[in-house]
Chain A
């Protein structure tokens, strides 16, 4: 099993040359905001381990005149180790990366590219992977498998429906075997898990559990004081939810809904003071433990439509960056969140400046639907370049394709299981 990793390189942009950079980034796209997989600068499609990637300029849109200079961020999700992926990037597309990063303040022509990227690598506080262990290669092979099965069924539609399910499955298995033999399909077996990964994972889970256990008496003792302070703040914190400008909405809309999936990048200030900061540090640590150990098989709590997501602290914890890759349009994504995991959104985002009023950190907040949507849209960034390795496929498609493959490879199936398998194809 190959686990997935996040990588992110983030450095201060030379704002005076921003327009020029944006032009350069546009040259990497085919449709607005959509990366051309074979673009001359960073040909994302040539990287077999790369699921998603994006280049986005991070600026605090709601901060007005107090906003610090923007960052240039290059981030993505890959199979295997993130640092190893940076090595691969630096080795295979040094010129393109140099041209892009050349717009950062401290990047000089003589800078060692890999060292510089490693120096500016920014880890997430929380990282979510829809299906831990599913590689790009697996996704593509399984999509090809389903397409081949669908085509085979169409070709034999005159005779197959008369056959019993068991017989149909046997024919499909034989067909797949023949196609593999002929080299038209491949179903690569998972490579072995990196040594120590399982152990580290178990130790991490145990560590979190022990830490929570050890902290529990203090947390419990401190809880009343915490809640009193929290309620004070929740009553006095200002809601800042004006409507987003029409031009901003249009710029966001222009780069959305070209595929079944979309990207989402948002950046904003954390409420001032240590209370909110430490609340966030603790919560993101807990959430990260759940995404690492519990939500690893297709759903984040009730939400099935997120491929990858991350929260990243920036500027010494004064600001928070959120990035995700999700299925559907942004409005349906926000509706899904509001209706299914409003409590989860509130836990984290209510520590951001201007968020709709919450009660006890989890109630209210996002349930004020319109204010929440305005808040989100106002902090959403126009992602300059976005790459997805498997256009047209939703997270559900990926899980279903894996289930189809499992059924093809299974040694025996009951009648009911066989029927369910056929319904999936």
Chain B
């Protein structure tokens, strides 16, 4: 990875890896009890950087902070005010955000276990280790002055990593690839086909994003950083960059009703096990094994591979399936990543682009309805929790223990990346020309005010007549969530050392 050594030692390891080798993990949500002790602990915390990952690790630690956490550490207002509006307001910070994200009804923040008011965490600690080392690693991390510094709000358990999410599907199959080397080319002509490469600035602050611009972040007066702990901002060299090598971390605890999911599908297909699996795969948009429903596209896709699993699982787009005959338009993975380009398929060359831009070519009704994907990507780093069981076991067990996903994603612009994908594509009620349906897998079923419920899932068929399922129950419920800042290591030291 051609990252300069100073940056590799500065970027938290979670950006590079979900630590697949470390199959045990605990997520700690903390509140700061004593600011001085918390700062002292933070300064000495054994945080894992990207550079550490060049050698195998037995335990890793990453740290992220909420806006409330930064306030509790008495970050100067000048620094705080430089963070994005979404981060400052918080995931549950205003009703209009909740409405957009689908955090309504059973998902509403006032029902969350954590993430609001006195249950708002200040810090998130992500600990990963091999199963036999986990307890030791936790003891190491909770070194003095831990006890005086923090109170533990939640200690979130995770299931031993087995690559399958609780419904049984292979998970974490598709991730964007960060283009560490490239200078992003914002021109449309460079994006005529889908690419899985994204500009570094889409994931990390302080680098150019897909527009070739630097996302807003806290840039400080040198007076606030007399020891010059922080690097100069690339776009404003006279200011010190608190955001550089950091990013936003979105955390949502999503409870999955595994029994409810399989029972509903089983009932829908009259108990036929094969049909049940096929329906589940249509809802997800992949086979249970992770294989795509669509065949490989002709050429290679930039940013997919060289890993052979990655090539097998991700060498496809939806271009050849514009009507959703193979993978339904509303399938989960199609909503989460529509795999389109800046221009509709078949737009090649300057003249064709010009005519397209001017809207002077004939367009079919359904053409060009979805925004360009490359501005709406994120790195996913979630882990499952609870009892994992097979569909058959889930069907038999009426009141199963709780299971779900600690959804974690990293991005540089919460509003344009996480909130857009969650709000416009997953919870959105009019994605890609569909009417009155939200994501069949993860979304709530509330309709619009005064309208019918949105528990519909439409599957187009080659024969013509759509297959349509109505009355989908809600399978996933939000139990908590918050927006965090995952700082670079230098920024973390600066935050720990500031004296307000």
Contacts and interface: CB of A to CB of B under 8 A. Distances in A.
Interface of A: 31, 150, 153-154, 157, 160-161, 165, 168, 243-244, 246, 249-250, 253-254, 256-260, 294-295, 298-302, 304, 327-329, 331-332, 335-336, 339-341, 343, 367-370, 391-392, 394, 396-397, 399-400, 403, 418-419, 421-423, 425
A243 B465 contact: no
Contacts of A157: 468
Contacts, number: 137
Q: Chain A binding site: helix, strand, loop or mixed by DSSP?
A: helix
Contacts of A399: 365
A396 B415 contact: no
Given A304-B368, A304-B369, A331 B359 contact: no
Contacts of B366: 396
Contacts of A367: 186, 211
Contact of B96 (A253, A302, A304, A340): A253
B85 A249 contact: yes
B499 interface: no
Contact of A299 (B363, B461, B464): B363
B213 A369 contact: yes
A153 B468 contact: yes
Contacts of B363: 299
B447 to A, nearest CB: 8
Given A246-B89, A331-B419, A396-B430, A300 B424 contact: no
B359 A327 contact: no
Contacts of A254: 94-96
A394 B216 contact: no
A56 B424 CA distance: 27
**Nearest 4 pairs between A and B by C-beta?**
A253-B96, A422-B464, A419-B464, A301-B359
Given A301-B357, A419-B463, A339 B372 contact: yes
A66 to B, nearest CB: 26
B96 A154 contact: no
Interface of B: 85, 88-89, 94-97, 99-100, 186, 211, 213, 215-216, 323, 342, 356-360, 363, 365-366, 368-369, 371-372, 375, 413, 415-416, 419-420, 423-424, 428-430, 433, 435-436, 448-451, 460-468, 470
25 contacts: A153-B465, A153-B466, A154-B470, A161-B463, A244-B85, A246-B85, A249-B85, A256-B96, A298-B365, A328-B428, A328-B430, A329-B423, A331-B423, A332-B423, A335-B371, A369-B416, A370-B215, A391-B450, A392-B448, A394-B435, A396-B433, A400-B433, A419-B464, A422-B464, A425-B466
B357 A341 contact: yes
Contacts of A425: 466
A339 to B, nearest CB: 5
A335 B424 CA distance: 11
A400 B85 contact: no
B430 A165 contact: no
Contact of B357 (A250, A343, A422): A343
B305 to A, nearest CB: 27
Contacts of B375: 335, 339
Contacts of A300: 359
Contacts of A260: 429-430, 448
A423 B466 CA distance: 6
